[in-house]
């Protein structure tokens, strides 16, 4: 469930005016921006951008980019975009960085349903005049490339049917690949890249029954091998997206310093989906509510934005 | 007694692609039993002398006739089906029938628009409760990687090609074909990535650079490489591919599969076929009956949107 509290009825015209007012003059009224945008769903945000442009003849996003800065600006920019567009932008940013773990590409291809992934691919066409898969193919190589291209190109069957015999045999194949340390072999890529989510879940369950431990536990943790780390991430996303995101949040907050990019990414991309359940998982695991942890570890307008997206009144 | 001209007419009614229904009506409804007997005796292609004293229909002819009579039906069905279902069924059948039919998969994956291919993938879900990729992964051949990649593409369709990249990728392909092991081409990851992910505009630019840089076309360099050549042609020079398929269909010794391509190509490509020279002239002579009427009318109406 979503954590964002967007009222059912809004006046997008008033919202546009409020945002305009917040950006005029010497300073910027960040609180006003958070109060409006932090409480609107994707459809409403789209309408606000449209009306703003009609009335004031400028792009709201560009205006906000120029007025805001730092982690707050990044959060607002990502939040205000349409979800498929946002994911396309995040994917592109990640691909241009070198030495990255491809979190975004793995997340969007393994935690979204087929129609959502398609929408992202279309948004990528529109924005970058290239396909997502050719971009991924261009910026990666070897096993990493084969797995990532397979994952982003997949258009998985959406049905719930399971073939238990197949699940058992594919669980065996996965285990053999892991045992022989052939993590990038054809079977692995094929199974993870083509099976439906229901079939994969059945396969992971069979794996657990056959081997006594979950498949994620058998994949080397903290491997310096970029591919293995990514494979582990993909399996975890396919297996249990909410659990995966809880861990990303936990990791981003714990220890010294905060990984704002990861924190922003999870909150912004899940706030309208299942952040509520992820929050509950977080609370159970860490004995402290996520909101409290965010309050402690972040500050300023950035903090207020995150807390608002988490459903709080600031 | 049946006149030689009748016996000839009977043979002719079955000796093209399709069946001359009008001729059959005229010959058979006007024949009494004796007439028919001499038709049978005179037609060595269709009947053989049985030891028990009657003219028995030759088994292999029955099969051929079945195909012939079904052509019109197949053309109607293919024409009426929603393009998504049509393409999904074409792909599923090709996967089932094996390596000789994989060019159909390439044809659908590479000559349809990105959204049409996507529609076919959706229809495949509905019809067969699996994704195309899943079914493809069950084929054992080395073509698997390429086919899965081609079918999974959602290519960008806008203009704007980076000519430098197209040129350098032409070089990658050139080296893969000429310096590497030609037998390993289907496993050449870079080559597959280029062919399966780049936009058609990009690949057409690549094709031009290839010819300019190396003095021969990419298709020529892939002569004998079956499915790879089909892929390149379908993506870069589809008319060449379709012309080749149509000409193979009307050849003297064309097999059943080649002939079936006639229906498939004409029905699915009729807009493109309006161009001159695309359709072999022979078609007029070799097609028969309702099947002929249907296909020729399809081509004629090809520019009706």
Question: Contacts of residue B149 in chain A, CB cutoff 8 Å?
Answer: 149, 153
pLDDT class for A284, splitting at 50, 70, 90?
very high
Looking at the structure, tell me whether residues A170 and A225 fall in a common domain.
yes
Looking at the structure, tell me whether residues B106 and B134 fall in a common domain.
yes
Across A95-104, A130-139, B106-115, B225-234, least confident range: A95-104
Q: d(Cα A25, Cα A10) in Å, to the nearest integer?
A: 26
End-to-end CA distance of chain B: 52
- Examine residue A119 and state whether it is found in any structural domain, yes or no: yes
- Examine residue A225 and state whether it is found in any structural domain, yes or no: yes
Question: Contacts of residue B154 in chain A, CB cutoff 8 Å?
Answer: 118, 121-122, 125, 131-133, 153
> Could you tell me the CA-to-CA distances from B210 to B168, B204, B216, B224 in Å, in that order?
10, 10, 7, 18
Looking at the structure, tell me whether residues B170 and B243 fall in a common domain.
yes
For all residues of chain A together, what is the average pLDDT? 94
Question: Contacts of residue A131 in chain B, CB cutoff 8 Å?
Answer: 153-156, 197, 199
Q: d(Cα B184, Cα B188) in Å, to the nearest integer?
A: 6
Under an 8 A CB cutoff, do A157 and B130 touch?
A: yes
- Examine residue A179 and state whether it is found in any structural domain, yes or no: yes
- Examine residue A29 and state whether it is found in any structural domain, yes or no: yes
- Which one-letter DSSP state was computed for residue B58? P
Q: d(Cα A116, Cα A95) in Å, to the nearest integer?
A: 20
Task: Tally the residues of chain B.
Answer: 305
Query: In the predicted model, what is the mean pLDDT of residues A250-277?
Result: 94
Last residue of a domain, one of A201, A219, A239: A239
The chain B residues in contact with chain A (CB within 8 A) are: 118, 121-122, 125, 129-131, 133-134, 137, 148-149, 152-158, 160, 189, 193-194, 196-199
Query: In the predicted model, what is the mean pLDDT of residues A171-197?
Result: 94
- Examine residue A21 and state whether it is found in any structural domain, yes or no: yes
Expressed as residue numbers, the domain containing A48 is 12-68
C-alpha angle A250-A256-A260 in degrees, rounded to nearest 5 = 60
CA distance A263 to chain B (A): 31
Task: State the CATH number of the domain containing residue B245.
Answer: 1.10.220.10
Under an 8 A CB cutoff, do A131 and B199 touch?
A: yes
- Examine residue B73 and state whether it is found in any structural domain, yes or no: yes
Looking at the structure, tell me whether residues B33 and B113 fall in a common domain.
no
Q: Which residue of A has its CA nearest to B133?
A: A194
| Annotated binding-site residue numbers of A for Ca(2+) | 25, 27, 67, 253, 257, 297-298
Under an 8 A CB cutoff, do A129 and B160 touch?
A: yes
**What ipTM does the predicted assembly reach?**
0.86
> Longest Cα pair distance anywhere in chain B, in angstroms?
77
Alpha helices in chain A (DSSP H): 12-23, 30-37, 42-56, 60-67, 70-80, 83-96, 103-110, 114-128, 132-139, 142-153, 164-179, 186-194, 197-211, 215-218, 226-239, 241-253, 260-270, 275-286, 290-297, 300-309
Query: In the predicted model, what is the mean pLDDT of residues A87-93?
Result: 96
* Backbone φ and ψ of A237, nearest 5°: -65, -40
Task: State the CATH number of the domain containing residue A217.
Answer: 1.10.220.10
* Inter-residue contact A170 to A191 (CB < 8 Å): yes
Under an 8 A CB cutoff, do A134 and B131 touch?
A: no
Question: Can you give the three-state secondary structure of A137-172, one letter per residue?
Answer: HHHCCHHHHHHHHHHHHCCCCCCCCCCHHHHHHHHH
Quote the pLDDT of residue B257.
Answer: 87
- Examine residue A73 and state whether it is found in any structural domain, yes or no: no
Looking at the structure, tell me whether residues B8 and B34 fall in a common domain.
yes
Looking at the structure, tell me whether residues B191 and B204 fall in a common domain.
yes
Looking at the structure, tell me whether residues B164 and B226 fall in a common domain.
yes
pLDDT (tens, 9 = 90+) of chain B, 305 residues, equals: 657 888 888 888 888 899 999 999 988 898 889 988 988 888 888 899 999 999 999 888 888 889 999 999 999 999 999 999 999 999 999 999 999 999 999 999 999 999 999 999 999 999 999 999 999 988 888 899 999 999 999 999 998 899 999 999 999 999 999 887 777 888 899 999 999 999 999 999 999 999 999 999 999 999 988 899 999 999 999 989 998 999 899 888 888 888 999 999 999 988 777 665 567 777 888 899 999 999 888 888 765 55
Assess whether pLDDT exceeds 70 at residue A50: yes
Under an 8 A CB cutoff, do A125 and B189 touch?
A: no
Extended beta strands in B38-186, E state: 47-50, 54-57
* Inter-residue contact A125 to A137 (CB < 8 Å): no
Q: d(Cα B239, Cα A306) in Å, to the nearest integer?
A: 56
Question: Contacts of residue A133 in chain B, CB cutoff 8 Å?
Answer: 152-154, 196-197
- Examine residue B257 and state whether it is found in any structural domain, yes or no: no
CA distance B222 to chain A (A): 23
Q: Which residue of B has its CA nearest to A128?
A: B156
Looking at the structure, tell me whether residues A231 and A168 fall in a common domain.
yes
Mutation test of the interface with chain A: which of B91, B113, B134, B203, choosing the one with the most A Cβ atoms within 10 A?
A: B134
CA distance B245 to chain A (A): 29
| Annotated binding-site residue numbers of B for Ca(2+) | 14, 16, 18
Looking at the structure, tell me whether residues A89 and A61 fall in a common domain.
no
Q: Which residue of A has its CA nearest to B134?
A: A194
Under an 8 A CB cutoff, do B156 and A134 touch?
A: yes
Domain count, chain B: 3
- Examine residue B193 and state whether it is found in any structural domain, yes or no: yes
> Could you tell me the CA-to-CA distances from B6 to B2, B23, B27, B48, B288 in Å, in that order?
6, 10, 7, 18, 17
- Examine residue A3 and state whether it is found in any structural domain, yes or no: no
Instruction: Give per-residue pLDDT as tens, A216-249.
Output: 999 988 778 889 999 999 999 999 999 999 999 9
Looking at the structure, tell me whether residues B35 and B95 fall in a common domain.
no
Under an 8 A CB cutoff, do B125 and A131 touch?
A: no
Looking at the structure, tell me whether residues B227 and B144 fall in a common domain.
no
Looking at the structure, tell me whether residues B23 and B74 fall in a common domain.
yes
- R_g of chain B, CA atoms, integer Å: 23
3-state class of A282 per DSSP? helix
Question: Contacts of residue A155 in chain B, CB cutoff 8 Å?
Answer: 118, 121-122, 131, 133, 152
- Examine residue B228 and state whether it is found in any structural domain, yes or no: yes
Under an 8 A CB cutoff, do B197 and A195 touch?
A: no
Q: d(Cα B10, Cα B101) in Å, to the nearest integer?
A: 32
Under an 8 A CB cutoff, do B131 and A155 touch?
A: yes
Looking at the structure, tell me whether residues A147 and A174 fall in a common domain.
no
Query: In the predicted model, what is the mean pLDDT of residues A287-303?
Result: 95
Expressed as residue numbers, the domain containing B32 is 4-80
> What is the CB neighbour count within 10 angstroms for residue B73?
12
Q: d(Cα A271, Cα A311) in Å, to the nearest integer?
A: 9
Quote the pLDDT of residue B276.
Answer: 53
Question: Contacts of residue A150 in chain B, CB cutoff 8 Å?
Answer: 148, 152
Quote the pLDDT of residue B181.
Answer: 78
> What is the CB neighbour count within 10 angstroms for residue B162?
13
Q: Which of A137, A146, A156 sits opposite B131 (nearest CB)?
A: A156
pTM (2 d.p.): 0.89
3-state class of B50 per DSSP? strand
- Examine residue B266 and state whether it is found in any structural domain, yes or no: no
Looking at the structure, tell me whether residues B23 and B70 fall in a common domain.
yes
Under an 8 A CB cutoff, do A137 and B125 touch?
A: no
> Could you tell me the CA-to-CA distances from A73 to A83, A257, B40, B157 in Å, in that order?
17, 19, 88, 33
Last residue of a domain, one of B80, B98, B125: B80
Under an 8 A CB cutoff, do B125 and A158 touch?
A: yes
Name the β-bridge partners of A57.
Answer: none
Looking at the structure, tell me whether residues B59 and B96 fall in a common domain.
no
Q: Which of A125, A149, A155 sits opposite B197 (nearest CB)?
A: A149
B82: region left, alpha or beta (phi > 0 left; psi from -120 to 50 alpha): beta
Question: Contacts of residue B160 in chain A, CB cutoff 8 Å?
Answer: 129
Instruction: Give per-residue pLDDT as tens, A141-164.
Output: 899 999 999 999 999 999 999 999
Quote the pLDDT of residue A99.
Answer: 74
Domain count, chain A: 4
Last residue of a domain, one of B230, B250, B270: B250
Last residue of a domain, one of A126, A153, A180: A153
Helix and strand totals (H; E) in chain B: 19, 4
Q: d(Cα B149, Cα B197) in Å, to the nearest integer?
A: 8
3-state class of B215 per DSSP? coil
Question: Contacts of residue B150 in chain A, CB cutoff 8 Å?
Answer: none
């Amino acid at each position: 469930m979503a954590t964002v509290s967007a009222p059912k009825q809004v006046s997008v015209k008033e919202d546009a005016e409020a945002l305009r007012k917040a950006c005029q003059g010497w300073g910027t009224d960040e609180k006003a921006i958070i109060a409006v945008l932090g409480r609107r769903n994707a459809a409403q945000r789209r309408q606000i951008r449209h009306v703003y442009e009609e009335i004031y003849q400028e792009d709201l996003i560009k205006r906000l980019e120029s007025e805001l800065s730092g982690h707050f600006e990044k959060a607002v920019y990502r939040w205000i975009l349409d979800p498929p567009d946002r994911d396309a932008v995040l994917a592109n940013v990640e691909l241009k960085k070198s030495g990255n773990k491809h979190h975004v590409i793995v997340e969007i291809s393994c935690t979204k349903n087929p129609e959502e992934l398609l929408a992202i691919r279309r948004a990528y066409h529109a924005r970058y005049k290239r396909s997502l898969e050719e971009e991924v193919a261009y910026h990666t190589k070897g096993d990493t490339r084969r797995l990532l291209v397979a994952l982003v190109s997949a258009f998985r069957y959406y049905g719930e049917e399971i073939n238990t015999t197949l699940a058992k045999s594919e669980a065996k194949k996965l285990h053999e690949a892991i045992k022989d340390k052939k993590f990038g072999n054809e079977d692995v890529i094929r199974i993870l890249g083509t099976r439906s989510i229901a079939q994969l879940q059945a396969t992971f369950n069979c794996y657990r029954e056959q081997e006594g431990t979950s498949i994620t536990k058998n994949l080397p943790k903290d491997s310096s091998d970029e591919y293995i780390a990514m494979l582990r991430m993909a399996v975890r996303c396919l297996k249990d997206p909410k659990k995966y995101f809880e861990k990303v949040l936990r990791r981003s907050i714990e220890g010294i310093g905060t990984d704002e990019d990861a924190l922003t990414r999870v909150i912004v991309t899940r706030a309208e989906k299942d952040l509520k359940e992820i929050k509950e998982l977080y609370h159970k695991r860490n004995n402290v509510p996520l909101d409290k942890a965010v309050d402690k570890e972040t500050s300023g307008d950035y903090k207020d934005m995150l807390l608002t997206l988490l459903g709080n009144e600031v | 007694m049946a006149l030689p001209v009748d016996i000839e007419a009977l043979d002719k009614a079955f000796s093209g692609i399709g069946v001359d229904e009008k001729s059959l009506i005229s010959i058979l409804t006007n024949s009494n039993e004796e007439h028919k007997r001499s038709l049978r005796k005179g037609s060595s292609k269709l009947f053989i002398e049985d030891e028990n004293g009657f003219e028995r229909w030759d088994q292999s002819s029955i099969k051929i006739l079945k195909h012939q009579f079904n052509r019109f039906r197949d053309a109607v069905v293919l024409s009426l089906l929603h393009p998504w279902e049509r393409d999904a069924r074409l792909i599923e059948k090709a996967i089932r029938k094996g390596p000789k039919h994989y060019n159909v998969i390439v044809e659908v994956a590479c000559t349809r628009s990105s959204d049409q291919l996507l529609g076919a993938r959706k229809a495949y879900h509905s019809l067969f409760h699996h994704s195309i990729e899943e079914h493809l992964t069950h084929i054992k051949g080395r073509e698997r990687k390429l086919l899965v990649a081609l079918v999974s593409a959602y290519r960008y369709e806008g203009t704007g090609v980076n000519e430098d990249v197209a040129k350098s990728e032409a070089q990658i392909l050139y080296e893969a074909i000429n310096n590497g092991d030609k037998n390993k081409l289907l496993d050449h990851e870079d080559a597959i990535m280029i062919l399966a992910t780049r936009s058609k505009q990009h690949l057409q630019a690549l094709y031009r650079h290839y010819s300019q840089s190396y003095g021969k076309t990419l298709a020529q360099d892939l002569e004998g490489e079956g499915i790879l050549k089909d892929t390149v042609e379908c993506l870069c020079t589809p008319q060449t591919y379709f012309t080749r398929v149509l000409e193979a269909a009307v050849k003297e010794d064309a097999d059943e599969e080649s002939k079936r391509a006639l229906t498939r190509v004409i029905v699915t490509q009729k807009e493109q076929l309006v161009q001159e020279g695309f359709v072999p002239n022979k078609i007029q002579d070799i097609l028969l009956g309702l099947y002929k009427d249907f296909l020729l009318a399809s081509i004629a109406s090809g520019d009706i949107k």
